[in-house]
């Protein structure tokens, strides 16, 4: 199975990757989306309902 890790920072994206999870960033967090992409986000979502596309 797969597991998603949803977060809003570079540390979250790196933690997800190291744990073998799919890192999903959220655009409404404390960091910019560029940071999320550059640290391995598989996707960056703009609204909580968009997370349903990954489930």
Domain count, the chain: 1
pLDDT digits (tens, 9 = 90+) for 8-38: 999 999 999 999 999 999 999 888 999 999 9
Which domain range does residue 40 map to? 4-54
Query: 37: which 2 tokens?
Result: 């992409």
Q: Where are the alpha helices (DSSP H) in 1-55?
A: 10-18, 33-38
Q: What is the pTM of this model?
A: 0.91
Q: Which of 47, 55, 51, 31 is nearest to 14 (CA)?
A: 31
Is residue 25 a contact partner of residue 37, using CB atoms and an 8 Å limit? yes
Q: Which of 20, 2, 12 is nearest to 39 (CA)?
A: 12
Overall average pLDDT of the 34-45 stretch: 98
| 49 CB-contact burial (10 Å; exposed 0-12 / middle 13-18 / buried 19+) | exposed
């Amino acid at each position: 199975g797969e597991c998603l890790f949803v977060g809003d920072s570079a540390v979250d994206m790196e933690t997800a990757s190291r744990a073998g999870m799919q890192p999903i960033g959220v655009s409404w967090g404390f960091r910019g989306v560029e940071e999320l992409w550059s640290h391995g986000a598989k996707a960056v979502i703009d609204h909580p309902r968009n997370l349903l596309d990954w489930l």
